[in-house]
Structure 1
Amino acid sequence: MRQWLKNLLTRQKAANAVSDLQHAINLIAAIDAGGIPLNPARVNAIGRALGLEVSRHARMEDTIARIREVVGARASEAARRGVIND
């Protein structure tokens, strides 16, 4: 019973997992909607998850700009491959 419950919870967690790119898209959308990120470590973690080298001392604005570039580049790549239909 215990193992069954553990498996059920693990599968549910995996099904609700959000990709690193989706985290970045959500961050940019929130900022564009007027939000202000309050946790620089979270912004840095999103940047690192996208493959960026981010210093602990980097300005949050610079990191956000770099994240925007990555999101834009990946969206362009997806559009070129036909994954995104406008």
Structure 2
Amino acid sequence: MLSQRTLRWLKAYLPGNKPPSPEQRARDLVAAIDAGGLPLNPARVNDIARQLGLEVSTRAPMPETIERIRQALQRS
């Protein structure tokens, strides 16, 4: 059986639906991490941060970037 999060993700990417906003992608990332998940793709984390308007070095540690994403979500 699919979880609610998986169903939301699938619905977001079905034809006719627009992709999630950068803020929603960031909230989904943080929620997944808080639920015990580990981000496996640093490029995706950096992309989310950049879409939020953050400047991110490719050499920045991923935990630091995730913390900056959390702070950006709190400000919005």
TM-score range, shorter chain: 0.7 to 0.9
Aligned to 1:61: 63
Gap regions ≥5 residues in structure 2: 1-14
Looking at secondary structure, tell me which structure has more helix per residue.
1
Q: CA RMSD in A?
A: 1.1
How far apart, in 2, do the equivalents of 1:19 and 1:55 lie?
22
Q: Deviations over 1:31-84 (max 9, x none)?
A: 00000000001000000000000000000000000000001111xxxxxxxxxx
Aligned to 1:42: 44
Matches within 5 A, 1:1-20: 12=16, 15-20=17-22
How far apart, in 2, do the equivalents of 1:49 and 1:16 lie?
16
Runs of 4+ in structure 1 displaced over 6 angstroms? none
| Partner SS, residue 19 of structure 2 | coil
Aligned to 2:4: none
Gap regions ≥5 residues in structure 1: 1-10, 75-86
Percent of aligned positions that are identical: 55
Aligned to 1:73: 75
The aligned length equals 62
> Following TM superposition, by how much is the alpha carbon of 1:16 offset from its aligned partner in structure 2, in angstroms?
3.1
Aligned to 2:27: 25
